Chains A and B, each alone.
Chain A
Amino acid sequence: MDRFNRRRFLKCAAAGGLAYAFGRTPQAVSAATFGSNAAFADYKALVCVFLFGGNDSFNMVVPRSAAEYSAYATSRQNLAIAQASLLPINSLVPDPNGALHGLHPSMGEVATLFEQDEVCAIVANIGPLIEPTSKAQYQAKATRLPPQLFSHNDQQDQWHALKGEATLKSGWAGRIADALMAPGASPPLDQSLAVNLSLNGQTLFQAGATSVPYTMGPTGPVPFFGLENTDAYTLARRAAFESILRANHATVYERAYSSVQQRALQGAAKVNDALASVRSPNAAPFATAFPMTPLGQQLKTVAELIAARDRLEVSRQIFFVATGGFDTHDAQVQDQPQLLGGLSNALAAFYRATVDLGVAASVTTFTQSDFGRTLTSNGDGTDHAWGGNQLVIGGAVAGRTLYGRYPLLQIDGPDDVGGGRMIPGVSSDQYAATLAKWFGVSAGSLSVVAPHIGNFAQGDLGFMLT
């Protein structure tokens, strides 16, 4: 079949003597720089791991103390995780009611990060909110709520953009980049590679008002065949290609298309050179092996990009990676071990790689997901809900702690707004503001990054070490 294999194609083409058309010489990046390089003195990276579909996170972090487990098991019935199989964790800040929790049995590595390494924090029952809302207020419609609460794309956008009732065209990561790169920012950040790098498509999360994200594939950018060598003929072809892109175009569509292609062309060689340097057999920047899953591969590439940060001349990066399959309307019991186990493997490998690289305290990884899921089921799966639990991992995290308030998992209980949907106690705005503050966003800009932060008493959830 037409099995077009890029790597073999390039290798064979170079061997066939078509080096001037294919492949590239290592020093393909010209001496021309991309601009001056004002930067932070230190390096920091945020890594967003988005779990598409809505992670059933009340089966990820589960109550194991008697009364709380009983309520959980009564609600969850055949979808409840067996009490004896939970991996015990003990938060350094005890639950006010003495409740204890455990992780899903497939998440051994994350349990270790939480309990032994103390670099993992859990933020309990968090979700999009405009202002604090109790169950009574929800039922009385007494507060403003994010619209379309149980719709996938609307809630993904809420997590990405913290938009509430507004129509925002930027996401909170995009706005962080905007703030850091604004004229008059301190320090004036002017790195040649975008602050926001995605390895999994375009999202509202990284769209900025002024800053532009750079999207690459799971193993990095795609090199441009026939445009990256530095012989005269190839340079002429590249010049022709670029002239075509830069021409005056009649439509908004051509202009949008051509600007993406131009960014691709500018970024590909620089990023690929940096990746090649850390991927060469002599380099081996980290010893950790990554799982061969889509998420594992994305996080491995992120680790390599972090390893190459000096060559890339960057001091602030926000990475976006993602994995799907969490919309467990069916076969939840069969599917969750793989979903959560895969997540745990990949997160742990990534953390270990940052330790190998000596940057564990400079890199903070955090999960986001459309929503948590219903305590009720349809027989073999769950439905869209609201509040859920998220993980934050890194050397700068005040770990081994459960933040927020873990709700009582009782159908029709004090936190259930219908159908077993937990009303969040902590907002995504607070989550974002806490991460943005650590990342270096000034206090004055936090309300731009997280527009509703002023509605909440606790602007910093406290899960980052100061």
Chain B
Amino acid sequence: MNALPGRLTPMVVAATLVACGGGGGGGSNPPPVPPVTQPPPATISKAEAYRFLNQATFGATDAEAQSVIATGYEAWIDQQLQRPASLELPHVQQAFAAFPPGADFTRLHEDRVDIWLRHALHAPDQLRQRVAFALSQIMVISQQSPLVGYPWGCASYYDMLAQNAFGNFRDLMENVTLHPAMGVYLSMLGNQKPDAARNIRPDENYARELMQLFTIGLVQLNADGSIKTDTAGKPIPTYDQEIVQGFAHVYTGWTFSGAPSFATAFPTIANQIRPMQAYAEQHATGTKRLLNYPGALATVIPAGQTPEQDLDAALDNIFNHPNVAPFIAQRLIQHLVTSNPSPQYVARVAAKFDNDGSGKRGNLAAVVKALLLDTEARAAPASATAGKLKEPLLRLTQLWRAYAAASQSGKYNVQNITGLIGQGPLQAPSVFNFFSPFYAPPGEVANQGLVAPEMQLTTEYLSSLWTDYVFVLAFCYTTTPVQGCPPIPDALRPDLVIIDAAAERALASNPQALVDAIAVRLVGGPISNTLSTQARGMVERAPSGDPALRVAEALYLIASAPEVALQR
């Protein structure tokens, strides 16, 4: 299909901006969530509140911890469930309106990252945004693709995830499938019906990845997420090539909306944020074989249906597969709570997906609530496998939130965030995300049959990038920089993100108090003896007349430490 620039005219742009309007929040009200019968804890310690918030937000803060302690976990979650989605698209549209004519609109991705960071730092719908972030790593699209030319589409896609985060999974599947950004990314958009004379077969990309990566996976699962095996002990595939072809034929005839025909459809700013439209002339109308599982309603779609009818049947067929519940439960648990949940934990959360308590299947709000309130998430972690490594973006947002990171301009316009820390929103290298749910680093983790997905992003190279960034932040990009930091060019100063360590500076003459204060800021409670001792030792080594240096030494060592890289 044609790239966007060739098709844009100033009139089209103006018309779409008028049509789009601004507007802040949005998103359907989540379906009612049946109450969870959990005894409220007598008191929640600050450290426990921090643990919870590091699972449910982009980073615990003292203020939010006080809120959790005051209301309890369940009420805090219920409040969050009611909050509408903070949206990215209006910000991208505003940024574009300020572009000079002829400017490279792919730079709008920087604005998209800017608003993503602002939401992560400040948005009130923290849990919704955290879940959207997890969904964006399951149902992946990325600007590292032709989508670099579709910044509006990418922002709109992310908004769709945020708006659906507490809705029904079946609706999410449909909205993902019909979003043109996904259509471009996985080739469903513009997919043609078969043409034997020209050796054309419907593309199978979306058919494959919707099942493999977004909903059911490659092999049959038990309700607790474990892999089913046949009598020979081998895993059982969920689908075969014929089924992939069947679905590929379903996903034909869809493309950008608003054109008189399939062949004349083309992308605009307006239609890249609207669902794809079906054009029957390019829809494959033969029978289509779908998933076959006990209780499956439509295992073969009959010939002659409309594209919309076929799509409905196909998505229903996938949605009702028994794999979906443990698949989604496992993915969400891994993104929010722990890399290695017990099978029982997965089963409990999967059961909530199957039936939210009122008979409804696919209630994501119920799933998220159950996942966070489960004893395995809330109990004080005891085993060596409890928790997970924090991914780079979450390390960044947590550190920034803890230290009120801000720029003079109010922007968080990091030009190349993936280059800086190894990860960026909607910037994964492929549809397989930044890391695989099955990744196990060689050594202890692999040998014990465990996984540590975020370790795939923890190479010598990337972990050093992060450690160096912490150094730069602690020593220089702070309200209390040390002597000798490189001068900041005037042009860059307004947008430079700096942290506020003024409170720590006031404690610099008391090394233990300084170390303790940083610990409370970052983890809500005490750090290990070794970390505390080593940090204190460097503080004491720095001259007492140099409080900025003392703060920098302690903050650098603590914020880069393995135990702070851990979310537990």
Contacts and interface: CB of A to CB of B under 8 A. Distances in A.
B263 to A, nearest CB: 11
> Interface size for chain B: under 10, 10 to 19, 20 to 34, or 35 or more residues?
35 or more
Contacts of A11: 486
Contact of B557 (A77, A241, A374): A241
Contacts of A170: 442
Contact of B487 (A16, A152, A268): A16
23 contacts: A1-B411, A1-B495, A16-B484, A150-B204, A170-B442, A207-B442, A207-B446, A221-B461, A221-B464, A224-B464, A240-B537, A240-B538, A241-B557, A243-B530, A250-B384, A253-B565, A254-B566, A255-B444, A264-B461, A267-B460, A374-B201, A379-B190, A411-B199
Contacts of B497: 2
A418 B475 contact: no
A226 interface: yes
A244 interface: yes
Contact of B471 (A8, A226, A249, A324): A226
Nearest to A322: B429
Interface string A249-291: 1111111111111011001100000000000000000000000
B485 A244 contact: no
A251 B482 contact: no
Contacts of B534: 240-241, 243-244
Contacts of B452: 252-253, 256
A402 to B, nearest CB: 26
Contacts, number: 264
B565 A2 contact: no
Interface residues of A, number: 97
Given A2-B492, A243-B534, A251-B385, A13 B566 contact: no
Contacts of B525: none
A233 B552 CA distance: 14
Interface stretch (A208-216, A357-365, A445-453): A208-216
Interface in A129-153: 147-148, 150-153
A383 B209 CA distance: 13
Contact of B442 (A78, A212, A243, A251): A212
Contacts of B237: 147-148
B565 A377 contact: no
Contacts of B1: 330-331
A239 to B, nearest CB: 8
B448 interface: yes
B192 A1 contact: no
Contacts of A377: 198-201
Given A1-B413, A251-B387, A253-B452, A383 B484 contact: no
Interface string B455-491: 1101111111101110110011000001111110000
A404 interface: no
Contacts of B407: 2
Interface in B397-426: 407, 411-416, 420
Given A165-B234, A379-B200, A383-B201, 8 more contacts: A1-B492, A4-B469, A169-B446, A174-B442, A223-B468, A251-B568, A253-B566, A329-B203
A252 B448 contact: yes
Contact of A260 (B192, B450, B458, B556): B458
B420 A4 contact: yes
Contacts of B411: 1
A74 to B, nearest CB: 8
B513 to A, nearest CB: 19
B387 A253 contact: yes
A236 interface: yes
A329 B531 CA distance: 51
